[in-house]
C-alpha cells in the first residue's frame, strides 16, 4: 500500500515496525505507541476504500464491548490517505491454525476453545455486532490457556457485510465456530472456501463433509453430532450463545494431550464416536467448570480474514507417531503481536502428553544433616556429664517457676488497693477514661493496612473464582478489576451460596473498615475478618449493598490476619448473565 512502510508514523503516535500480513489492499502491522510506550497491532487500509467508513464505525462500536475473550480495539483514525484501526497486541498467543500445524487438538480442548469463543461472540451479538468471516486464524490461545477472538465486526465491514440481517449473521457465526471445531478435531477445514495453512476436508460423493468420528478416533458423540448436523443438515444452534450452552460445561483450564488419530494408526482405538451420541458425564473429565458459560460474553478486534496472508504448510513427519513434534517453515501471520524472541523460547516446544506434576525447589536449598541428640538415647545408663546437665535444666525450670509465681501472687493481692497506684487511670463502670498525658492509649493509630497477598475465595466451588485476576483488586489501578465467573442468576446459579476474595494482611491486625470499589450494578457483600482462611469462626465486619465505592465499618476494630470479601448476591450484566467486578479493595485500622 502506498505510504505504508517500516518507520512510518500514523496518527502522530503509532510507528510501524513489522509487517504481519497483506491482502486485498489491507495490511496489518506491529507498531509502537510512542505515547504509552507499548506495542500494538494496527490494521491499515486506504481512506478511499469503498467500505472504509463502515469499518471505522464498526471499530468504534466494538471498542465499547468489554469482554476478555475478544481482542480490544484501542483507537481508530485517518492519517491523510490511510485509515487505521489499533488493537492491543496479543503477545504469546497462537491461532488454532498454527496449533494445527503441530497436531490435532484434544477433543475437550476443542470444546473449551470453541465454548469460550462462542461466549465472546454472543456478547458481541447482543450489541448487534457479528464476525461473519471467522476462520481458525481468528481464534487465539495464549500461553496461560485463555482464548480470544480477533476480527469481530471490522473484517466483515471491510468485506461489505456489516448490513447482513442479524439472524442470518448469527447463524453464519455458529457455522464458522463449528467449522473451527471440526478443524480442531480433524486437522482439516470443512468450509467451501480454502483457509491458508489448513488442509481442506474431503467430501463424499453427495457433497457432504465426512463426520469427525469417521476421520479420527476419540471424538465425543455430542461433538460429532454437532458437526454433522450443523455442517451437513443445516440444523443445530442458531446463535453463538445457544452453541455455548450446548457445549457447556467445559474445562476451566487448558486441556493437554494428543488429538485424535487416524483409524488404523498404531495404538488408535476403533473409529466412531466415543459413546452413543452422549457426552461423558462431567465427573469423568477433570477440571470441568460447573458454570453454564454460554449466557454472555463480548469483544473487539480487526478482521484478520481481510488481512491474512498465505502461510507455509506443515512439514509432517512420522504421521502415526503421536509423540513426534511437527515442524513448520514459516511464521504464522495470525500469531499477532508476539515478540521476536518468542520463537526461541523453549516453552513453545510441543509436548503432546499431559504435563507432569512438578515441585520447584529454591536453588539455595540445601538439605541439612539431622542434629546430634542432646542426650544419649536408648537403654544405656546416662554418663555423669549428661546427668549434671539434666539436673541443671530441671533446677533452672523450678527457679523460673518460683519467680513467676511470686510476682503473680503479689499482683493479685496488690491489685485491689488503688492507693498503691495513684498515677494509674481510674476505671468506672461502663466507661473508660482517657489516658494520662504522656501515656499510651493502647489503641493503634488509624490508617491504611498493607495487603500482603490476595486470592480468590471459593470454598463451596472448585476453589478458583478467576484467581488469576485477583491481584487486580489491590494493584492501585481503578481501571483494572477482578471479575467473577458469569452465572445464570444472582445467586450463583444455585450451585453455591457465595464466592469472593480473601486478603492476607501478613499477621493479625486490628481492622476497622474495608472499602470495596464495585463496578457494575448493585451487589450484596459481607466482609469478614478471620485468623484462618475459612468462613467458619470468622467475625463479621459489616455488610455492603450497592455499587461504586462502598465501605463496611465496624463500631470496634476486629482483629485477624485475613479479610474475606464474601459476595452473596451478584450484579446483573444482562439477561441471564450475572457476575461481580471489583476494581479496588482498601483495608484500614
pLDDT tens profile 376-432: 444 445 555 666 777 778 888 888 888 787 777 665 555 444 444 433 333 333 333
SS in 3 state form for 249-284? CCECCCCCCCCCCCCCCCCCCCCCCECCCCCCCHHH
**188 and 201 Cβ atoms separated by less than 8 Å:** yes
Q: So what's the pLDDT on residue 551?
A: 95
Distance of CA 203 to the CA centre of its chain: 38
What is the rounded average pLDDT for all residues in the chain? 76
Buried b (16+ CB within 10 A) or exposed e, 413-437: eeeeeeeeeeeeeeeeeeeeeeeee
Distance between CA atoms of residues 574 and 571, nearest Å: 9
Buried b (16+ CB within 10 A) or exposed e, 97-136: bbbbbbbbbbbbbbbbbbbbbbbbbbbbbbbebbbbbbbb
Distance between CA atoms of residues 232 and 409, nearest Å: 92
| C-alpha distances in Å from residue 40, one per residue of 16, 109, 137, 244, 335 | 9, 28, 18, 30, 13
**191 and 339 Cβ atoms separated by less than 8 Å:** no
DSSP state, 136? T
Q: So what's the pLDDT on residue 401?
A: 83
Is residue 271 pLDDT above 60, yes or no?
no
Distance between CA atoms of residues 530 and 326, nearest Å: 52
Query: Which residues have C-beta within 8 Å of that of residue 401, sequence separation ≥ 6?
Result: none
Ordered by start, the domain boundaries in the chain are: 1-311+325-357, 448-588
- The CATH number of 1-311+325-357 is 1.10.510.10
A 10 A CB-CB count for 149 gives 29
Specify whether domain 448-588 bears CATH 2.60.40.1120.
no
- In this prediction, residue 260 has a pLDDT band, given cuts at 50, 70 and 90, of confident
Distance between CA atoms of residues 7 and 197, nearest Å: 29
Higher-pLDDT residue of 361 and 40 is: 40
Q: Which alpha helices (DSSP H) does 66-165 contain, by range? A: 96-102, 107-126, 154-158
Q: So what's the pLDDT on residue 204?
A: 86
Sign of CA dihedral 175, 89, 54, 299: positive
Tell me the per-residue pLDDT of 149-183, one tens digit each, with 9 for 90 and over. Answer: 998 999 889 989 888 899 999 999 999 999 999 99
- Single pTM value for the model: 0.50
A 10 A CB-CB count for 568 gives 17
Distance between CA atoms of residues 589 and 586, nearest Å: 10
From the list 162, 172, 112, 119, the residue with the least C-alpha distance to 142 is 112
Distance between CA atoms of residues 23 and 135, nearest Å: 15
Is residue 24 pLDDT above 80, yes or no?
no
Which residue is it, cell 460423493?
205
Amino acid at each position: 500500500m502506498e505510504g505504508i512502510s517500516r518507520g512510518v508514523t500514523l496518527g502522530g503516535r503509532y510507528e510501524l515496525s513489522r509487517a504481519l500480513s497483506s491482502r486485498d489492499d489491507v495490511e496489518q502491522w506491529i507498531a509502537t505507541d510512542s505515547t504509552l510506550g507499548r506495542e500494538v497491532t494496527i490494521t491499515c487500509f486506504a481512506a478511499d476504500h469503498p467500505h472504509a467508513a463502515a469499518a471505522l464505525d464498526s471499530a468504534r462500536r466494538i471498542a465499547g464491548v468489554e469482554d476478555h475473550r475478544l481482542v480490544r480495539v484501542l483507537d481508530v483514525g485517518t492519517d491523510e490517505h490511510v485509515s487505521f484501526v489499533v488493537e492491543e497486541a496479543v503477545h504469546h498467543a497462537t491461532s488454532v491454525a498454527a496449533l494445527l500445524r503441530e497436531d490435532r487438538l484434544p477433543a475437550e480442548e476443542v470444546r473449551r476453545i470453541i465454548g469460550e469463543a462462542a461466549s465472546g461472540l454472543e456478547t458481541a451479538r447482543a450489541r448487534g455486532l457479528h464476525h461473519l468471516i471467522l476462520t481458525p486464524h481468528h481464534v487465539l490461545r495464549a500461553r496461560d490457556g485463555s482464548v480470544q477472538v480477533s476480527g469481530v465486526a471490522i473484517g466483515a465491514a471491510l468485506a461489505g457485510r456489516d448490513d447482513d440481517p442479524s439472524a442470518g449473521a448469527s447463524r453464519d457465526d455458529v457455522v464458522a465456530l463449528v467449522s473451527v471445531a471440526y478443524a480442531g478435531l480433524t486437522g482439516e477445514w470443512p468450509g467451501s472456501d480454502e483457509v491458508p495453512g489448513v488442509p481442506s476436508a474431503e467430501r463424499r460423493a453427495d457433497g457432504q463433509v465426512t463426520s469427525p468420528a469417521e476421520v479420527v478416533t476419540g471424538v465425543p458423540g455430542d461433538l460429532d453430532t454437532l458437526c454433522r448436523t450443523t455442517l451437513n443438515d443445516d440444523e443445530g444452534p442458531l446463535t453463538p450463545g445457544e452453541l455455548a450452552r450446548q457445549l457447556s460445561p467445559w474445562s476451566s483450564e487448558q486441556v493437554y494431550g494428543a488429538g485424535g488419530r487416524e483409524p488404523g494408526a498404531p495404538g488408535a482405538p476403533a473409529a466412531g464416536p466415543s459413546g452413543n451420541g452422549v457426552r461423558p458425564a462431567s465427573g469423568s473429565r477433570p477440571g470441568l467448570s460447573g458454570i453454564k458459560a454460554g449466557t454472555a460474553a463480548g469483544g473487539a478486534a480487526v478482521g484478520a480474514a481481510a488481512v491474512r496472508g498465505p502461510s507455509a504448510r506443515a512439514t509432517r513427519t512420522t504421521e502415526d507417531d503421536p509423540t513426534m513434534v511437527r515442524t513448520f517453515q514459516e511464521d504464522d501471520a495470525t500469531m499477532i503481536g508476539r515478540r521476536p524472541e518468542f520463537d526461541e523460547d523453549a516453552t513453545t516446544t510441543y509436548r503432546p502428553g499431559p504435563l507432569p506434576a512438578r515441585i520447584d525447589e529454591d536453588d539455595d536449598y540445601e538439605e541439612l544433616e539431622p542434629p546430634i541428640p542432646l542426650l544419649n538415647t536408648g537403654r544405656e545408663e546416662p554418663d555423669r556429664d549428661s546427668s549434671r546437665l539434666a539436673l541443671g535444666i530441671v533446677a533452672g525450670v523450678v527457679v523460673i517457676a518460683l519467680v513467676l509465681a511470686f510476682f503473680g501472687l503479689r499482683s493479685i493481692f496488690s491489685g485491689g488497693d488503688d492507693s498503691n497506684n495513684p498515677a494509674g487511670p481510674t476505671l468506672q463502670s461502663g466507661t473508660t477514661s482517657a489516658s494520662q498525658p504522656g501515656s499510651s492509649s493502647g489503641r493503634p493509630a488509624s490508617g491504611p493496612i498493607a495487603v500482603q497477598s490476595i486470592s480468590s475465595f471459593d470454598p463451596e466451588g472448585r476453589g478458583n473464582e478467576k484467581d488469576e485476576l485477583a491481584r487486580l483488586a489491590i494493584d492501585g489501578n481503578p481501571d483494572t478489576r477482578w471479575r467473577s465467573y458469569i452465572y445464570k442468576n444472582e445467586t450463583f446459579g444455585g450451585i453455591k451460596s457465595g464466592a469472593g476474595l480473601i486478603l492476607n494482611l501478613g499477621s493479625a491486625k486490628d481492622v476497622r473498615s474495608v472499602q470495596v470499589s464495585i463496578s457494575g450494578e448493585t451487589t450484596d457483600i459481607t466482609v469478614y475478618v478471620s485468623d484462618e482462611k475459612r468462613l467458619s469462626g470468622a467475625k463479621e465486619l459489616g455488610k455492603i449493598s450497592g455499587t461504586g465505592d462502598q465501605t463496611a465499618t465496624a463500631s470496634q476494630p476486629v482483629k485477624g490476619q485475613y479479610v474475606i470479601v464474601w459476595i452473596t448476591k451478584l450484579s446483573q450484566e444482562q439477561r441471564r448473565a450475572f457476575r461481580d467486578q471489583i476494581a479496588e479493595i482498601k483495608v484500614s485500622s
